[in-house]
């Protein structure tokens, strides 16, 4: 009898998945400190001194990442609170480049300092990176007689990260949050709200074997629902993010992010808060202090763990010698809306809950991927880390007019990525029904109540029951079993290659087809009464640069897609130019670089045509100016890489009546144009900034 009771207990306790309780959330405080180099978003002492003066913050381990100019500023060193650790902010400025014996990549004035190719190590050669890194770390050693435990850089190439780890033994590096084309750089498809050991080959990719023995953490607490697909950085814990939103988010929003963090069950749950010491952030310091006081209160109550970077790494490594698979979620109490994220060993999955329907709408592979900037520097005005996706609900969707109105209202109406909680995303639908989440080690089960059927997420694959009738959500519904009935199925998407499914050896290969080259990323197998979705080894990924490495796609411009916008075709001679904006686009309506632009006229002797100093690196809109001292009309034609974009467009330069008053009296039409122009300019000055 005792054996029967014990066996029953064993089955109930060990074999039936149990709903788990929330794990203690971990927090790190990391502030970024810039010195007084005026070219490059200079910092000040306000944040530092006010933290020192706030006695309630004295017990918090507040950590600081110092830029080179901050290392040289004695006042900063004297005023930093001593409760935390001091790290390095790896931003390149003209001063640091000069001290390193390296030519600064940007304009010496710093006007284009914000471009990733100028301010981050990714824009420099390996030899230049080494010189810059050594200069920084030796200055740090000169100041503090040791090397830092952690570094910060919103992007860092794989070569530099490995060099810093191997020579200076850092244990933690902070990257920026998930974002798409924000501040000239994109990090899209990685792990967030948790740390990971990075691949030797790519800092955004987790790895267990060819890895660095340091932790990557991501700036801020990201909103697990709203930050995805947001073209603006509104939905994070940074006060300068959420306070700028058109939804007028306030401290209650931050409290909501913290509350959700406290509900998570994964023991590797990590939340970063911090702010920069730049003057334009000064107005957010009171809000930030409210955040710190809340975190301090939670620490005192034993609800969170708050540590220094080196302490956190040491404790983490004892528990997790390798990257765990885990999930995070935020689901409404009525289970009608929300999201589940699962971060496996080989893939990342986002399952959105919309109107009670579960849809797998973001699926990315963590298979071997090499950092595009590991060997060669970034040379474009935008830099990209995009983890390869089979599904991306922020780019694959339909959007209604009502949805567009709402997106415009909240300032997120963008032409590429859109939030999936607003639009109707494509993906794999798992249907509707009451469900429960069951965590079993590193695996997650989503069971529909009543029949114990559903979705099983494991570190290496996603298994889902055929009985839940899964189907592919695109412009039309396609049942999963229908995909196995054809040798090949392709689906067209706006601004993307064709999504392709090809049957091979009873497996359905799933990937992208572009210019007759098929690149599979995942495969789908039928195993008894289930489907199994898993990654495949990636080949020919360079053929998909068009979506995964846009600045290196090297596709020619397409005349019908390229945008030419004439800001004006009339101007006042000797006073203002005629400006032509250009956005060269390729066959998929995505930006592309051009080698040569020619603007010609039938009247070149009277016209001055001004091109950008260098447009070869631009994949964002740029402009050409036409000016003239002479009155009269001309015909303009435009060619880019031998493709005619405009032909014989009439432009007119009118008289400057403030200098040629008599001429304008004799030509009333010129006087009328001049007066209208002046009035229009004055009215524009009176309009409030949007």
- List residues bridging with 56 in a β-sheet: none
Is residue 562 within 8 Å of 645, Cβ to Cβ?
A: yes
Higher pLDDT, residue 188 or 687: 188
- Determine the pLDDT at residue 116: 96
- Determine the pLDDT at residue 614: 85
205-206-212-216 Cα dihedral, nearest 10 degrees: 80
Distance CA 415, CA 590 (A): 10
Tell me which fold the domain 25-323 belongs to: TIM Barrel (3.20.20)
pTM, whole model, 2 decimals? 0.93
- Give me the residue label for tokens 């002046």: 678
Percent of the chain with pLDDT over 90: 86
Domain ranges of the chain: 25-323, 383-549, 563-654
Confidence of residue 326 (pLDDT cuts 50, 70, 90): very high
Angle at 480 (CA atoms; ends 475, 486), nearest 5 degrees: 90
Q: For residue 467, which phi and psi values (nearest 5 degrees)?
A: -70, -15
Strand 150-152, strand 86-89: pairing: parallel
Question: Do the two domains 25-323 and 563-654 of this chain adopt the same fold?
Answer: no
Angle at 131 (CA atoms; ends 129, 132), nearest 5 degrees: 65
- Determine the pLDDT at residue 3: 41
Q: What is the pLDDT of residues 392-416, one digit of tens each?
A: 999 999 999 999 999 999 999 876 8
Average pLDDT over residues 124-152: 98
Average pLDDT over residues 79-107: 96
For 563-654, give the CATH class: mainly beta
Is residue 363 within 8 Å of 389, Cβ to Cβ?
A: yes
Average pLDDT over residues 567-591: 95
């Amino acid at each position: 009898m005792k054996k029967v009771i014990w066996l029953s207990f064993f089955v109930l306790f060990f074999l039936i998945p149990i709903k788990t309780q929330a794990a203690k959330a971990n927090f790190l405080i990391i502030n970024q400190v810039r010195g007084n180099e005026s070219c490059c978003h200079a910092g000040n002492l306000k944040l530092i001194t006010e933290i020192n003066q706030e006695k309630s913050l004295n017990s918090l381990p507040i950590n600081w990442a110092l830029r080179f100019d901050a290392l040289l500023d004695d006042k900063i060193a004297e005023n930093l609170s001593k409760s935390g650790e001091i790290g390095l902010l790896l931003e390149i400025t003209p001063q640091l480049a000069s001290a390193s014996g390296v030519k600064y990549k940007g304009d010496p004035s710093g006007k284009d300092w914000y471009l990733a190719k100028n301010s981050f190590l990714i824009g420099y050669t390996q030899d230049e990176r080494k010189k810059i890194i050594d200069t920084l770390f030796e200055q740090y050693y000169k100041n503090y007689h040791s090397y830092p435990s952690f570094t910060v850089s919103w992007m860092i190439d794989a070569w530099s990260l490995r060099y810093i780890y191997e020579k200076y033994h850092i244990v933690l590096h902070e990257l920026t949050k998930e974002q798409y084309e924000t501040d000239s750089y994109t990090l899209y498809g990685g792990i967030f709200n948790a740390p990971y050991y990075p691949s030797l080959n790519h800092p955004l990719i987790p790895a267990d074997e060819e890895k660095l023995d340091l932790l990557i953490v991501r700036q801020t607490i990201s909103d697990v629902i709203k930050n995805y697909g947001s073209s603006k950085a509104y939905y994070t814990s940074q006060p300068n993010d959420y306070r700028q939103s058109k939804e007028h988010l306030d401290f209650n929003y931050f409290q909501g992010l913290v509350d959700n963090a406290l509900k998570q069950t994964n023991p590797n749950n990590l939340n970063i808060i911090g702010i920069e010491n730049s003057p334009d952030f000064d107005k957010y310091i009171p809000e930030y202090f409210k955040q710190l006081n809340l975190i301090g209160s939670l620490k005192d109550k034993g609800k969170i763990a708050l540590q220094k970077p080196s302490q956190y790494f040491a404790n983490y490594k004892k528990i997790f010698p390798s990257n765990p698979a885990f999930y995070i979620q935020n689901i409404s109490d009525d289970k009608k809306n929300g999201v589940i994220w699962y971060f496996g060993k080989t893939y990342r999955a986002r399952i959105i809950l919309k109107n009670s329907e579960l849809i797998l709408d973001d699926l990315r592979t963590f298979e071997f991927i090499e950092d595009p900037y590991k060997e060669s520097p970034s040379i474009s005005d935008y830099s990209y880390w995009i983890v390869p996706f089979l599904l991306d609900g922020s780019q694959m969707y339909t959007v209604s007019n009502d949805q567009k109105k709402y997106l415009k209202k909240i300032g997120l109406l963008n032409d590429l990525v859109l939030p999936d909680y607003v639009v109707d995303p494509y993906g794999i639908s798992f249907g509707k029904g009451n469900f429960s989440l069951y965590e079993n080690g590193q695996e997650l089960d989503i069971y529909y109540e009543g029949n114990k059927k559903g979705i099983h997420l494991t570190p290496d694959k996603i298994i889902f029951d055929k009985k839940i009738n899964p189907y592919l959500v695109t412009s039309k519904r396609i049942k999963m079993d229908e995909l196995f009935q054809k040798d090949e199925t392709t689906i067209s998407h706006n601004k993307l290659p064709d999504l392709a499914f090809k049957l091979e050896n009873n497996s359905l290969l799933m990937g992208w087809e572009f210019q007759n080259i098929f690149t599979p990323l995942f495969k789908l197998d039928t195993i008894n009464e289930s489907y199994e979705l898993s990654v495949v080894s990636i080949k020919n990924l360079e053929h998909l640069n068009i979506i995964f490495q846009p600045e290196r796609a090297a596709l020619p411009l397409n005349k019908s897609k390229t945008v030419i916008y004439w800001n004006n075709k009339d101007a006042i001679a000797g006073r203002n130019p005629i400006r032509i904006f250009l956005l060269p686009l390729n066959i998929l309506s995505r930006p592309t670089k051009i080698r040569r632009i020619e603007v010609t006229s039938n009247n070149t002797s009277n016209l001055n045509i001004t091109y950008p100093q260098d447009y070869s690196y631009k994949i964002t809109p740029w402009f050409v100016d036409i000016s003239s001292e002479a009155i009269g009309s001309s015909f303009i034609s435009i060619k880019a890489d031998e493709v005619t974009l405009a032909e014989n467009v009439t432009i007119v330069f009118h008289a400057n009546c403030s200098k040629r008053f008599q001429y304008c009296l004799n030509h009333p039409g010129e006087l009328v144009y001049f007066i209208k122009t002046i009035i229009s300019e004055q009215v524009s000055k009176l309009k409030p900034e949007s």
